[in-house]
Amino acid sequence: MRVMHKLFLSFSYNRIRKSLLWPVIFASILIAGCGIGDSVDKITKKVDEVTDKVTDTVEDLANTTSDIAGDTVATIDGAIDALDRNSASWQTVLQDLTKQLTADAQSTIRNEISDLLNRSVAATGVEMRCDLDFIGARVRQALVRIRAHLLNEPEPPAEPALCHVVPAAVDMALDANRRNKIEIFGYDFDTTPIKVKLHDKSRTIDASKHLNMLTHYHMTLNLGGNGVPLTNVSNRLTLEWENDPISSIAVIQPATPVCKEEIKTVPPSAEITFTPQHTQGDKEFFGFGPEIWATAEWIKEDKQVKFKLWMKALQTKPDIALPFAKSKPPTKAEGTHLISYYKAPSGWRIESIESDTKSSAHYVDTDHNEDRQGAGPNGPVKEFVFRGDKKGDDAGSYTGVDVRFNPLVVKLVQEDDCAPASAVKSLRDIGQLAPATIKRLNPDLMKLHIRKP
């Protein structure tokens, strides 16, 4: 957007300059009889005067445009702050944000916000199977990308997310007409391509051409006669994003057993330290807070668990401004830290995270000491140790957090040549298992014993 403003200003500058200089040049021809030297001096002086006026006009226009852009960023920041306090209120936040963006220069951003609202509302139907907090988190990510675009900063990628796959497995003993597609629900499917791979004992086939995106939150995988070429040796389908598996769908053959399962407790790793970057205002909180938010979560992928930490520190009052001086925006530090925390052993995948997946903290710093915030025994974080304000610069160098972990508890499922118990039960409940398959697998389900380490 800044590039567009610069091009517009440059274009305006040239047009204004040319329109004002032509009369000057024409006048020079008329007064040529007064002497070439005097004429050149007069022309040069006149050109300088015109150029100064044009420069002042362009600078005033640039300052006005900059003020509008700054107001837009501040308005979006307010919406992001509101979502930090209550992500489930995303619909109200977006509606209020659209109303606040009223200037002509904000119309493009207002349209983006309106599209985001419509997109998010559409993704909350009963088939979505994702909760409001999930939608709120995705809305926040979208606003952060819009803000980064306004400031010409790197935009975080929009990673697609899966919420539900129906059916969770494919029973080859079922009549072909009753297993002709898989429906996939989630979010941001239109950002980057999702690939589909078909696996058997000896090969892997790219079946992505049979994946149809109906909306950004709904896809179908064609398993019919002109769809994925399932055979009697196929054992699973995987959905992948940027070469990482994000979902696995078992193909149940006549001899496929129920997968072995295991609960594994992963001991806490060493504590980590995170210092979010300075994003607004000067770098000194000046004794006004800061108010601090932090959220930590386990993110389950097919073969690993990632740890994601977000922290924001915001000055509670603007700096004290001198009379007639323009007040500065409140100091802010904000950022996200993402690491790979645990990887499943070979031949196994992660079915679920059995411990709580989120920990959070929120408080206002009132001194120059470290502040300990216990997060409980069940989520990712046992204790946050925050650093907010001190004498001198804070944001980007001092303000941050140490994280001390709780154990991570995951359910591991055998990966190859078997059907997960959860998928088998799901298919049985919705009538997507053939009677012969139910009869064969029911004893395995009855005697399945989850081995604990």
pLDDT tens digits, 239-265: 998 888 888 899 999 999 999 889 999
Q: Where are the beta strands (DSSP E) in 35-120?
A: none
Q: What confidence tens digit (pLDDT) does each residue in 217-236 have?
A: 889 999 998 999 999 999 99
Instruction: Select the highest-mean-pLDDT range: 38-47, 156-165, 379-388.
Output: 379-388
Q: What is the DSSP string of 352-401?
A: EE-S--EEEEEEE--SSS-EEEE--SSSSEEEEEEE---SS--TTTT-EE
Q: What confidence tens digit (pLDDT) does each residue in 270-297 have?
A: 999 999 999 999 999 999 999 999 999 9
Q: What is 161-257+426-447's CATH topology?
A: Immunoglobulin-like (2.60.40)
Q: What is the pLDDT of residue 108?
A: 77
Rounded-to-integer distance, Cα 360 and Cα 339, Å = 18
Rounded-to-integer distance, Cα 418 and Cα 357, Å = 27
Closest CA to 348 of 450, 243, 233, 262: 262
Lowest-pLDDT range of 139-148, 177-186, 282-291: 139-148
| Residue 243 buriedness (CB in 10 A; 0-12 / 13-18 / 19+) | exposed
Q: What is the pLDDT of residue 448?
A: 64
Mean pLDDT score of the chain, rounded to an integer?
Answer: 81
Lowest-pLDDT range of 30-34, 154-158, 164-168: 30-34
Share of the chain above pLDDT 90, in %: 43
In the predicted structure, residue 371 carries a pLDDT above the cut 90: yes
**Peptide bond connecting 318 to the previous residue in cis, omega within 30 degrees of 0:** no
Lowest-pLDDT range of 48-57, 144-153, 275-284, 387-396: 48-57
Rounded-to-integer distance, Cα 320 and Cα 303, Å = 52
Q: What confidence tens digit (pLDDT) does each residue in 164-181 have?
A: 888 999 999 999 999 999
- Map out the domains of the chain as residue ranges: 1-156, 161-257+426-447, 263-319+328-411
Q: 370 or 120: whose pLDDT is higher? A: 370
**Peptide bond connecting 443 to the previous residue in cis, omega within 30 degrees of 0:** no
In the predicted structure, residue 28 carries a pLDDT above the cut 90: no
In the predicted structure, residue 39 carries a pLDDT above the cut 80: no
Residue 110 backbone dihedrals phi, psi, to 5 degrees: -60, -40
Closest CA to 306 of 262, 348, 347, 269: 269
Q: What is the pLDDT of residue 123?
A: 64
Rounded-to-integer distance, Cα 277 and Cα 371, Å = 19
| Residue 295 buriedness (CB in 10 A; 0-12 / 13-18 / 19+) | buried
- Average confidence (pLDDT) over 363-384: 93
| C-alpha count within 13 angstroms, C-beta hemisphere, residue 58 | 19
Helix (H) or strand (E) holding 125: none
Rounded-to-integer distance, Cα 394 and Cα 331, Å = 9
Region of 129 (left: φ > 0; alpha: ψ -120 to 50; beta: rest) is: left
Q: 363 or 145: whose pLDDT is higher? A: 363
In the predicted structure, residue 372 carries a pLDDT above the cut 90: yes
In the predicted structure, residue 152 carries a pLDDT above the cut 80: yes
Closest CA to 122 of 215, 219, 220, 184: 215
In the predicted structure, residue 19 carries a pLDDT above the cut 60: no
Lowest-pLDDT range of 8-12, 314-318, 368-372: 8-12
Q: Which residues contact 211 (CB under 8 A, 6 or more apart)?
A: 194, 196, 219, 220, 221, 222
- Average confidence (pLDDT) over 62-71: 54
pLDDT band at 65 (very low <50, low <70, confident <90, very high): very low
Q: 68 or 212: whose pLDDT is higher? A: 212
